[in-house]
Structures are given as structure tokens and as C-alpha cells.
Homo-oligomer: A and B are copies of this chain.
Amino acid sequence: MITTPTLLLDEAKCRRNIRFMADKARKSGVTFRPHFKTHVSHETGEWFREEGVDRITVSSFRMAQYFAEAGWQDILVAFPVNILEIDVINDLAGSIKLSLLVESVYTVDFLAKNLKAPAGVYVKVDLGYHRTGVDDRDTEQISRIVKAITGSRRMQFIGFLSHAGNSYSARGRTEILKVHEESIRRAAELKENFINDYPDTIISLGDTPTCSIADDFSNVDEIRPGNFVFYDVMQTIIGSCSPEQVAVAMACPVVAVHPERNEIVIYGGSVHFSKESVADSSGRVIYGAVVEDHGPGWGDIVENAVLARLSQEHGIVEAPPAFITRFKPGDIIKIMPVHSCITASVMREYRTLEGKRITRLL
């Protein structure tokens, strides 16, 4: 029985999401190296293994250790190397096929001096998102980094990695594909510049919107989407998925009903959902979308019923009167989170519709 805020995981939807992306990678002839930062769970990892996945991406060395413990042997830590963690890096490099991400000669020089076991190295390039990475047009700087890598005994240069996080600003298929086409065009040019000197250079891309929507992966060798395993409200607004594909929802107890202002107060606040918000199609900022209760799972998104405000433990649901009056204290209301990666990170475990508890890295 659910008595406190609980993150529900619909295993069937989740497995369909995994199969969909694994199939697409296979058909497109690209390596599928899914990012495990969203679920961070041994058990969910096994569902990927059942779809033939044998290499993965994570965003911290702690996650790499966690998945190495579950037998994953080929792990890319797709985060600019934090050189302060050199001891953990050496432990991992000595026990699995570890790949690292770099974006400066400074870090490569540090690794050249301090790595005690072999590691693959990707160079992070910025194809337009401007979070981090070397600008792809700065081939001089990129050359210096690649030379520093290939000049080192322990490091093997793998290729160029980028994350088209700018796809998160896209709305709808056309805009997502525009981001994707720009990424693959620029990645292809970059590869062209290096392929003669480094014939095995690969291009690794991956964000959920473009990987969900695009079908053309020419010049791409590897994809690393992560969020698609669950999807969320933000992805439905971007246009990466339909609400039916979203595999997680929060179940929250109702603690107060305020019909005079069309609000329900739930036990479920920023310590449960996180404080991630998104503007819906009408421009309204929301923290979650209310869904129909449907047995152990959930159904459609309820029109105009949203998680409108959050404090530490309280959430305020705004909804039409006809919906509000269905609830009293002690009922459960189900809400699709805006950003499943972060909600899952703060909730720290899942409960399947069959009532099974699934743990994740704490």
C-alpha cells in the first residue's frame, strides 16, 4: 500500500522504450551506448542487457563503480575528467574497459603522468550547445588535444563526443531535426579533418530528443541517449515522445483540498519531485502533469491539471473543479514528473506496478 510519495515505474513501458532505441541503433548501424544516469539501477540495467547492450555511459566515477560491480565491462564516463578522482580512475581503468572524456591539454597531460592502466579517451566537442567542450571549428586546439592523447602510452584516442543539449529548446519534430542535422553536419566536417591521420576516429552523439526523432545517423558511430528509458513531461513538450511512452509517475497522498481556489495540497514537494519546471504549450510554468489514476498504473494526462507550485514537502495541484471535487484527504493522486532523471535521483528508488521495489545507487 502506498502511504508516502512513491515513484512508480511501469516496467512494460520502460522495456518498450529500451527496445525501441536498441532497435533504432541496430537499424541505423550505430553502436548503442545508452546513458545510465537516468535510472542508475542494476535491475533496470539488466533490461538493457536483455536487448543486447554491452557498453554503457555514465556521468560519474561513482556510477561507473556501481555498474562495474554489476558486471558492466565497458563504461564511458561522459563528463569532463575530474582529475581529483585519479585514484578511482586508476582502480576502474585497472579492472574494466574504461573510457574518459577530456577537453583540455592540461587534463590530458595530467592523465599522461598519472594514469596507471589503459583508458580510452574521447574529446568533448561543442557542436552548438555551449555548455562545455572545445568549439568544433577550433581544429587547432582539437589537434593539440588529440596529439597529446596519442602521444601517451596509456591513452587510446577513441573519437569526438558531443551532447546536443540545445535540442531541449526545440519544440516539435521539425525543430528537433534541425538541431540534429546541424550536429551531424558539423560532426561530419570534424571527422573529415581527422580521419586521415586517425582512421579509427568515431563520432559519438546522444541526447534523447534527437535520438528519439531522427532516422538519419550518417557519419554517427555511436549514440548515448539516457532519459528515453523513462521519458517525462519535458520530453512530451519537446516532442520526443507521446505521454503514453512515459514510464514513471509519482503517487502522492492528498492532504488537503481547497475547492474555493481549485487546489489540492499533496504530500510531495521539491525533496520528492526536485524543483525542475517547464513551460507547457500555453506558456504556464509547471512542475508536473496530473494523470488519470488507473489501477496500479496511470492513464492519460488530465487536461489543465498541473503541479503548479512546490515547497519542501508540499505540492499544490491546480485543476478544474470537476477534478478537484473527486478528491479527499488520504486519496492518492498520480503525477508525471517534469524531469525524470532528477526526480529519480531524489526519490532514490522505484516501485513497479506489480509492487516490486527497485533500488538504485544512493
Where the two chains meet, the residues of A that have a C-beta atom closer than 8 Å to any C-beta of B are 1-4, 37, 59-60, 62, 79-85, 103-104, 106-107, 110, 130-132, 165, 253, 255-258, 261, 265, 267, 270-271, 274-277, 309, 311-314, 316, 328-330, 341-342, 345-346, 362
Contacts and interface: CB of A to CB of B under 8 A. Distances in A.
Could you say how many copies of this chain the assembly holds? 2
A345 to B, nearest CB: 5
Given A104-B329, A107-B329, A341-B312, A267 B3 contact: no
A107 B256 CA distance: 9
Contact of A83 (B59, B130, B313, B329): B329
Given A80-B255, A131-B311, A132-B256, 8 more contacts: A3-B84, A4-B62, A4-B84, A37-B312, A60-B313, A82-B253, A132-B314, A275-B277
Contacts of A79: 255, 267, 313-314
A80 B103 CA distance: 50
Give the top 9 A-B pairs by smallest Cβ distance, nearest first: A80-B255, A3-B84, A275-B275, A83-B330, A132-B265, A59-B313, A82-B253, A271-B345, A82-B267
Contacts of A276: 270, 275
Residue of A85, A103, A265, A329 most packed against chain B (CB within 10 A): A329
A330 B362 CA distance: 25
18 contacts: A1-B84, A4-B62, A4-B84, A37-B312, A80-B329, A82-B255, A82-B267, A84-B330, A104-B257, A104-B329, A131-B311, A131-B316, A132-B255, A132-B265, A275-B342, A312-B341, A312-B342, A345-B346
Given A110-B329, A328-B106, A80 B4 contact: no
B362 A2 contact: no
A362 B361 CA distance: 13
A59 B341 CA distance: 25
A345 B59 CA distance: 21
A154 B77 CA distance: 57
A311 B59 CA distance: 11
B362 A314 contact: no
Given A104-B256, A110-B329, A341-B312, A80 B265 contact: yes
Contacts of A85: 3-4
A332 B312 CA distance: 29
A151 B336 CA distance: 40
A63 to B, nearest CB: 9
A329 B79 CA distance: 13
A62 B313 CA distance: 12
Nearest to A270: B342
A106 B256 CA distance: 10
Nearest to A330: B83
Nearest to A1: B84
A246 to B, nearest CB: 18
A268 B220 CA distance: 29
A261 B131 contact: no
A261 B80 CA distance: 18
A139 to B, nearest CB: 15
A82 B4 contact: yes
A132 B313 CA distance: 12
Given A110-B329, A311-B165, A330-B84, A270 B274 contact: yes
